[in-house]
Amino acid sequence: GELQKDETRRLARELALPVAAKPDSQDICFVPQGSYAAIVERLRPEAGEPGDIVDQNGRVLGRHNGIAHFTVGQRKGLGIAATEPFYVLRLDPENRRVIVGPKSALCETRVHLGELNWLGPPLQPGEMVPVSAKLRSTQPPVSATLHAGAATGAAELLLSEPAGAIAPGQAAVLYDGERLLGGGWIRRVPENPALQAAETGAAAA
């Protein structure tokens, strides 16, 4: 574990190992041929069940072959006709729905967190702390204020500027400069009332 990558490759060449010139991988090592959907469907078969693609008001725009094939922020491969580009805004696994909308609807300034692991002094309910929040691995951190919730491990991030493609289930990592303050899991925000009513009706049917 003490060798740098270049040193490791040099040793591999000297030992004539076949992996010496293997390109670096950006994928998860246990996903064969990059088929993430196949792994998800194997672990959660219900993620491969067909369902509806709906807009923010619950109007059905088309059908899909499983939410495992979609991710928040996705634009291509939706298989629906629209007058403007639509993006995946949210996945609703309970009702097997993919919610889509315009790019502007992806941007949010409030992020709900759960299971917050705070490394600093204990937070008091309602306490507000300035932080730098990293919400996606490929995006730079954004300035935010952490608002501690009343329930243990609950908090809300108030972003200084809108951020897009914030996906529930992903991690939010919080910093003060280069100092790690903690992190939590991004939770689903309260729903659009019209869509929530449509989903309630679908679940009751």
pLDDT digits (tens, 9 = 90+) for 104-144: 888 889 999 999 999 988 999 999 999 999 998 888 899 99
From 203, 196, 197, select the one nearest 90 (Cα to Cα): 196
Confidence category of residue 156, pLDDT binned at 50, 70, 90: very high
| pLDDT value of residue 195 | 43
| pLDDT value of residue 33 | 58
Instruction: Identify the structural domains of the chain with CATH numbers, from first to last.
Output: 45-105 (2.30.30.280), 107-187 (2.40.30.10)
| pLDDT value of residue 200 | 41
The rounded percent of the chain whose pLDDT value lies above 90 is 48
Cα distance between residue 160 and residue 142, in whole Å: 7
Cα distance between residue 126 and residue 147, in whole Å: 6
Cβ atoms of 142 and 130 within 8 Å: the answer is no
| b/e 53-65 (16+ beta carbons within 10 angstroms → b) | bbbbebeebeebe
pLDDT (tens digit, 9 = 90+) per residue, 24-54?
665 555 555 556 677 777 778 888 899 999 9
| pLDDT value of residue 35 | 66
| pLDDT value of residue 5 | 80
End-to-end CA distance of the chain: 56
pLDDT (tens digit, 9 = 90+) per residue, 52-65?
999 999 999 999 99
